[in-house]
Structure 1
Amino acid sequence: MKIAVDFDGTIVEHRYPQIGKELPFAIDTLKMLQQDGHWLILWSVREGKLLDEAVEWCKARGLEFYAINSDYPEDDMPVGKRARKLNVELFIDDLNLGGLPDWGVIYQMIKEKKTFAEIYKQEPVKKKKKWF
């Protein structure tokens, strides 16, 4: 699966234009997704030097993306001329409706092909029989 991943507020705390602290388990989870065969695309509003800093920050932690702000790595169109819509199956972004789930939940959703609701679906509580 092709997965677009936001940077600020998703991989790191939102401190734009600086780089915030890594969100717990973000890098490890993304590397696990790559090991599972998924293609990750960094999808960020960052451009130029700020984008380069984010890419290098990830590389320093052993995370390299299939492509950056593009559907494929060979895209040589200038950033302003590229289509801003990606052809991916999933976006991981802190601005999703309802916010960003825990990275463990994100991994479980992708690995088990379940929705957030399916993971948090609670079994009905069985009522105890009364003995009177």
Structure 2
Amino acid sequence: MYVCIDFDGTIVDHEYPEIGKPVPKAIDWLLRLQDRGALLILWTMRSDSEEASLLSNAVQYLEENGVVLSGINENPGQAEWTSSPKAYADVYVDDSAAGCPLIQPLGFKRPCVNWKKIGPIVDKMLYP
């Protein structure tokens, strides 16, 4: 099962172009989903340029926290059956998604994903 996960506001606070504070429980849930067999795809607007390694920094952050990515802004097996640029996944988690539960931790710039609520929902969707 593939899960596309946004970065800013979903895994870390909105501090773009910096890496914000960790969103509570985000890494815990990503590691749990990963341990249960979910294939995680980082689905973000961050990119690298000559001036900044914004995407690479996000990937490094995840790797340092034990998160193994199956893809970055693309599903690795998708090219076999479609030329669509949209990354295919069974579930998408994004702070901007309609209906995604949000929280506003003290000191955060904007609301972020409430992983205490969305984690169990995603887990149940993937592993009923």
TM band (smaller chain): 0.7 to 0.9
Aligned to 2:117: 105
1:65 aligns with 2:69: yes
| The structure with more strand, counted as a fraction of residues | 2
CA distance in 2, matches of 1:57, 1:16: 14
User: Number of paired residues?
Assistant: 107
When normalised by structure 1's length, the TM-score is 0.73
Unaligned runs of 5+ in 1: 76-81, 115-132
Q: How does 1:1-132 map to 2 (within 5 A)?
A: 1-48=1-48, 49-72=53-76, 83-101=84-102, 102-113=114-125
**Identity across aligned pairs (percent)?**
37
> Residue 60 of structure 1: CA displacement?
1.0
| TM superposition shift of 1:99 | 4.2
Task: Decide whether aligned partners of structure 1 residues 87 and 108 sit closer, same or farther in structure 2, where only a CA change above 3 A counts.
Answer: same
User: 2: CA distance between counterparts of 1:103 and 1:4?
Assistant: 15
Does the Cα contact within 8 Å between 2:34 and 2:67 map onto a contact in 1? no
Instruction: List alignment gaps of at least 5 residues for structure 2.
Output: 103-113
Deviation string for 1:61-105 (max 9, x for gaps)?
Answer: 1112111111118x8xxxxxx853011111100001144442122
Distance 1:36 1:47 in 2: 29
Verify the 8 A CA contact 1:42 1:67 in the aligned structure 2. yes
Give the partner amino acid of 1:95: S
Using the TM superposition, name which of 98-107 and 20-29 deviates more: 98-107
Using the size of structure 2 for normalisation, the TM-score is: 0.75
1:53 CA drift (Å) = 0.5
Root mean square deviation, CA, Å: 2.0
